[in-house]
Structure 1
Amino acid sequence: MLVYLQVKNIALIDEINLNLHGHLNIFSGETGAGKSMLIDSIQFAIGNRTSKQIIRKGEQSAYVKLVFSDQNALWFLEELGIPYSNNEIILERTLYISGRTVYKINNIISNRAQVKQLASLLIDIYGQHEPQSLLDPSKHLIMLDNFGDVELKNLKQEYQQTYQKWHQVTKEMENIEIDERKKLQLKDMLNFQIEEIEQHNFQKDEESMLNEQYTTLSHAEKILMQCQKAYEFLGEDVVGSAIQNIRDISHINTQLKEFFSQLNSIEAQLQDVTFEIRRYIDSIEYSPQLLQDVQNRLDVIYRMKQKYGNSIEEILQFKNNAILQLDEIMNAEENQQDLNNQKQILENQLLELAQQLSKKRKEIVGQIEIQIEKHLRDLQMPHAKFRVSIKEISSFNKNGKDDIEFMICTNLGTDVAPLAKIASGGEISRVMLAIKTIFVLEDSIGTVIFDEIDTGISGVTAQKVAEKLALISRNTQVICITHLPQICAMGDKNYLIEKNVVEEHTKTSLIELVENQIINELCRLMGGIITNSTKESAKEIKLLADKFKKNI
């Protein structure tokens, strides 16, 4: 429910801070006092389009804050990743004179679409030509099912669980179903790619080895010449001659002995190196053809890298993936047949459950039509006919195979038509009130606003409207703007909206009425003159209203 409302600089409103009652909140005031501005402010906060002309003259921005306490909409905050505490949901909107708008949900910057979607879970506004949830045919089936008994609800739950399984199987089939021509094209392409990679018999380290070989072959002539010279120099055995000279004197002192030892070690190493250089010279196999063969192999690797990856490892991985994909296609027919069998079984179950759902819905339609027509007669619509249209649709959805829409005609001699096509705002409000009255216990919307609910009614009808508002407000918070004393008397909290001139500026203000002020307001609504007689009548209306609420 809406627990707190703050409005700043909206039209003639300077600032209003309001704590609302959990049941029936009644707003009244003289014509032109600005009652509609209250609704406009709430509409503003929940994302309805407006212009910067709504900003109070001389101010730079307009601001509205709504604070709700509603655990049924917290899942939406969780989906958005918005934190909350104590079931509190705060909507804020600021409109600047530049035209820029800032929306916030629980102090987190949000966008208009998010605010509107969240608001649709929190509040309904029924007024002339407003987009009301009860006029949305997509919600009629849900409302009808909520009116049903435990058997219907359990049946629907079983259906939806089965539908979820069917939807999952259908999605899996869509993922593996490929057009036959595309399937053949893909198989041919995969086979070609696999064969092309396999025919080259790539080895993981091959490219680096070929690059090294290519570099060596490219410089083979120079390598052979330089290595041959080095070998010849080493063959002169200069170190051996030095050893002969040192050997004869190595016994004279320790340092000469060390020289002799080092030279022996060097001679051994030089012999090893000389041997390895000789082997290396003999191993070099150079020919222009071999160099060309290495170049051709590197060219093949380069072309394949352009097609299949940045390295031989990636090319081989591409081949492995292609093999897996080809296996999937080859196994798809078998998998598809299994899924087809599962889907057929689930569709048979869905069809049976959908038929049972449809039967249960048709059983409760008559009760709904009778009850709503009774309420409409109470609301001075004696010729109204309310019907629930149930049509079978061709495919399954999460609610079955029924398309449900509320239909109505309000005058004799006319045919029933979709509820959304009612032209009169006053009729819309009363029809909504009748529907809301029978669905109230199952509705998850926490706050309902009725504007223009009392247009064109009086007397007994006014009393019936007041009673229905009180009945709805026991389960759902109701905010109602009225000019009828019977409705005003039924309020759990009453507010007076006034327009005053302060320092040559017109401003709208709002005050909460206490008991004596409520009586005076009832007198004003009854005729405008406060006398002992009107006070007694007002007290009697208030007493009857309190008695009715006590017995609900």
Structure 2
Amino acid sequence: MLTSLTVQNYALIKQLQVDFTQGYSVITGETGAGKSILLGALGLVLGNRADLSHLKDKEKKCIIEAEFQIGAYDLESVFDDLELDYEALTIIRRELLPSGKSRAFVNDTPVSLKALQSVKERLLDIHSQHNTMALSDKFYQYYVIDALAENAPLLLSYKKALKQHKNAVKQLELLKTQQEEAQQQYDYNLHLYKELETAKLKEVDEVETLEKEIEKLAHAEDIQINLLESVQLSTEEEIGVQSLLNKLENALSKIASYDEQYADLYQRSKSLKIELDDLVFELEKQSEKVESNPEELEELNQRLTLLFDLQKKHFVSSVEELIAVKKQLSEKVKQVEDAADALQNATKEVDSTHKITLELAQKISKNRAKVIKKFKAELEQILSNLGMENAQFKVQITALKNFSEYGLDDVSFLLASNKGSDYGPLKKVASGGELSRIMLGIKMILSRVVKLPTILFDEIDTGVSGEVATKIADVMQAMGDNMQVITITHLPQVAAKGKQHYKVYKEVKGQETETHLITLNQEQRINEVAEMLGGKEKTQSAIEHAQQLLSIN
């Protein structure tokens, strides 16, 4: 509920601060006194667009601050979604600077206008004859019936289930499309895959290995000649390296005992002899291995050519990349070969989610059907009390073939204003005054079952008088038992029913005009209601009538 409103430097308001209470409150004042300014200030603090024309003093900033007690509204999740600090007593502030810039804060946290408007929807509901067309909005009609049917938990589950079902359908269609495309490419992909499979690609760098082997085989004769020549140089009698090393070793052995240095030289010659013997052994071994093999050379060249051709064909530059291509082709081939199982699983998911969604939608429909009769009877009784004795109201529910965001029902509010007339959509058959009373009746019924935000009725009683005005006041007063209701009115019958009475008036100070809002005490209320009854020249009868109206309250 709205607990207080503070306004500085807005339109004709220089400084204004007012506290509001729970229940039914009224605001009165002469035409042009500034009631619309008050509504404008409330709209501005809750996210309406601002411009410099709103500044009373163009050199100073405008500040509007509203306090709301929201502990009973379960708004924690809304604040979490907007990343705002939740406080049971929430303060919303809007500032309009002389530069034209504006700022908004919720509990001292800066917020965007979009976020502010999201909060506004949960805090304040402003109604006038100009915005009762919301009654014809499908969203609002579903909202009313589902609120009465207590469908909120079911609708939450239904929307989650519907989302899962739509995703399942989407996945099935996507899979079918992919399968069709894959089937068209299947034969070609299978051919490419088998070609790579037959190539028996190896993880190691096979190309480099092949190139080295080919290089060896291509020069086998030169390699063998040089290996044999090396053996000959090492083993030839008298002048071979082995023979010379033997002589060196023998010479040094004769002097090794004379000095440690000579002994070291002798050991080194022995080491050289051992190393040479090992080298000669390896040379002979390698020379025996080397042989010219044109067939093997041809095979290796063919293998290398195959790998290069495959790389060129698949636009890659290595065997590793060819292996990756092979894996991709395998998946594409497998996708087609496993299509039946994949389609079966996707179809099962569609059927399963459809069943869950359908069961929830049917429960929602059943709950709606249960409350329609009582809702119709209650609303028609209220409308009868409000001067629409012959009005007949109908909630028409038509089954849908496909799921909508609201289930399997199309909900429409219809009205027959007079006996014998046909039912028609509200926007076509109801006048502005009738729409106002229908909205009032619906809000009255909703207030018993839903924790509604503060409702502000802006002269919703325009065009009625006498007993009907009193009945309208009774309805708003009854609504005030369950919630905060504030109404701006010109009717004394409506004003007299208020628990709190506020008056808007203008005051001229020098060259300036200012709008004020005050809370009236009992004596001031009598005078205000008497003035509403008989004009500024309050007669004794008007005062007595005012006292009578207020005593009834």
Q: Do they superpose with TM above 0.5?
A: yes
Kept after mapping to 2: 8 A contact 1:126/1:132: no
DSSP-derived class of the 1:435 partner: helix
Q: Which stretch of structure 1 is more off in the superposition, 259-268 or 446-455?
A: 259-268
1:301 to 278, 299, 311: 311
1:466-545 to structure 2, matched below 5 A, reads 466-502=473-509, 504-526=511-533, 527-529=535-537, 534-545=542-553
Q: Which residue of 1 aligns with 2:402?
A: 395
Cα distance in structure 1, aligned partners of 2:431 and 2:192: 75
Q: Which stretch of structure 1 is more off in the superposition, 536-545 or 470-479?
A: 536-545
Change (3 A) 1:474 1:324: farther
Q: Which residue of 1 aligns with 2:238?
A: none
Cα distance in structure 1, aligned partners of 2:173 and 2:159: 20
Cα distance in structure 2, aligned partners of 1:367 and 1:403: 19
2:447 to 436, 440, 461: 440
Q: Give the counterpart letter for 1:199 in structure 2.
A: E
Cα distance in structure 1, aligned partners of 2:100 and 2:320: 53
Change (3 A) 1:143 1:303: same
Alpha-carbon deviation of 1:241? 7.5
DSSP-derived class of the 1:434 partner: helix
1:104-123 to structure 2, matched below 5 A, reads 111-123=112-124
2:324 to 314, 333, 336: 314
Kept after mapping to 2: 8 A contact 1:372/1:435: yes
Kept after mapping to 2: 8 A contact 1:422/1:428: no
Alpha-carbon deviation of 1:114? 4.5
Change (3 A) 1:55 1:128: farther
The Cα offsets for residues 468-522 of structure 1, whole Å up to 9 and x where unpaired, read as 1111122222121122233323333333223233453333232333444333333
Cα distance in structure 1, aligned partners of 2:169 and 2:319: 31
CA RMSD of aligned residues (A): 4.7
Alpha-carbon deviation of 1:112? 4.7
The Cα offsets for residues 23-60 of structure 1, whole Å up to 9 and x where unpaired, read as 22322222112111222233334444565544445157
Kept after mapping to 2: 8 A contact 1:24/1:469: yes
1:209 to 197, 206, 209: 206
1:77 equivalenced with 2:79 (yes/no): yes
Cα distance in structure 1, aligned partners of 2:247 and 2:60: 105
Kept after mapping to 1: 8 A contact 2:207/2:319: no
Alpha-carbon deviation of 1:196? 1.6
1:176 equivalenced with 2:177 (yes/no): no
Q: Give the counterpart letter for 1:186 in structure 2.
A: A
Q: Which residue of 2 aligns with 1:374?
A: 381
The Cα offsets for residues 110-129 of structure 1, whole Å up to 9 and x where unpaired, read as 55554444433333221132
Kept after mapping to 2: 8 A contact 1:429/1:453: yes
Cα distance in structure 2, aligned partners of 1:377 and 1:535: 31
Kept after mapping to 2: 8 A contact 1:498/1:508: yes
Q: Which stretch of structure 1 is more off in the superposition, 391-400 or 443-452?
A: 391-400
Q: Which stretch of structure 1 is more off in the superposition, 370-379 or 179-188?
A: 179-188
Kept after mapping to 1: 8 A contact 2:27/2:487: yes
Q: Which stretch of structure 1 is more off in the superposition, 136-145 or 463-472?
A: 136-145
Kept after mapping to 1: 8 A contact 2:58/2:98: no
Cα distance in structure 1, aligned partners of 2:204 and 2:270: 43
1:192-203 to structure 2, matched below 5 A, reads 192-201=188-197
Q: Give the counterpart letter for 1:196 in structure 2.
A: L
Cα distance in structure 1, aligned partners of 2:292 and 2:32: 107
Change (3 A) 1:524 1:159: closer
Q: Which residue of 2 aligns with 1:129?
A: 130
Q: Which stretch of structure 1 is more off in the superposition, 64-73 or 161-170?
A: 161-170
Kept after mapping to 2: 8 A contact 1:217/1:291: yes
Q: What count of residue pairs does the alignment treat as equivalent?
A: 536
DSSP-derived class of the 1:186 partner: helix
Q: Which stretch of structure 1 is more off in the superposition, 27-36 or 415-424?
A: 415-424
Q: Which residue of 2 aligns with 1:455?
A: 462
DSSP-derived class of the 1:442 partner: coil
Cα distance in structure 2, aligned partners of 1:504 and 1:416: 57
Cα distance in structure 1, aligned partners of 2:473 and 2:124: 20
Cα distance in structure 2, aligned partners of 1:27 and 1:63: 22
DSSP-derived class of the 1:381 partner: coil
Change (3 A) 1:385 1:356: closer
DSSP-derived class of the 1:509 partner: strand
Cα distance in structure 2, aligned partners of 1:40 and 1:225: 103
Q: Give the counterpart letter for 1:72 in structure 2.
A: D
2:185 to 157, 182, 189: 189
The Cα offsets for residues 386-413 of structure 1, whole Å up to 9 and x where unpaired, read as 2222222222446543222222354677
Alpha-carbon deviation of 1:438? 1.9
Change (3 A) 1:469 1:531: same
DSSP-derived class of the 2:516 partner: strand
Aligned-pair identity (%) = 24
Kept after mapping to 1: 8 A contact 2:16/2:517: yes
Change (3 A) 1:63 1:263: farther
Kept after mapping to 1: 8 A contact 2:157/2:360: no
Kept after mapping to 2: 8 A contact 1:376/1:434: yes
Kept after mapping to 2: 8 A contact 1:380/1:457: no
Change (3 A) 1:345 1:32: closer
Cα distance in structure 1, aligned partners of 2:142 and 2:119: 21
Change (3 A) 1:347 1:431: closer
Q: Which stretch of structure 1 is more off in the superposition, 263-272 or 452-461?
A: 263-272
Structure 2: any 5+ residue segments left out of the alignment? 235-240
Q: Which stretch of structure 1 is more off in the superposition, 231-240 or 297-306?
A: 231-240
Change (3 A) 1:264 1:55: farther
Q: Give the counterpart letter for 2:147 in structure 1.
A: N
Alpha-carbon deviation of 1:140? 1.9
Cα distance in structure 2, aligned partners of 1:535 and 1:337: 78
Change (3 A) 1:290 1:31: same
Q: Which stretch of structure 1 is more off in the superposition, 508-517 or 460-469?
A: 508-517
Q: Which residue of 2 aligns with 1:29?
A: 29
DSSP-derived class of the 1:441 partner: coil
TM-score (normalizing by structure 2): 0.77
DSSP-derived class of the 1:72 partner: coil
Q: Which stretch of structure 1 is more off in the superposition, 19-28 or 247-256?
A: 247-256
Q: Which residue of 2 aligns with 1:139?
A: 140
The Cα offsets for residues 446-471 of structure 1, whole Å up to 9 and x where unpaired, read as 22111112212233222222221111
Change (3 A) 1:374 1:159: closer
Q: Which stretch of structure 1 is more off in the superposition, 287-296 or 222-231?
A: 222-231
Cα distance in structure 1, aligned partners of 2:260 and 2:506: 121
Q: Give the counterpart letter for 1:78 in structure 2.
A: D
Change (3 A) 1:337 1:216: closer
Alpha-carbon deviation of 1:290? 4.4
Alpha-carbon deviation of 1:245? 6.1
Structure 1: any 5+ residue segments left out of the alignment? 546-552
Cα distance in structure 2, aligned partners of 1:519 and 1:444: 33
Change (3 A) 1:127 1:253: farther
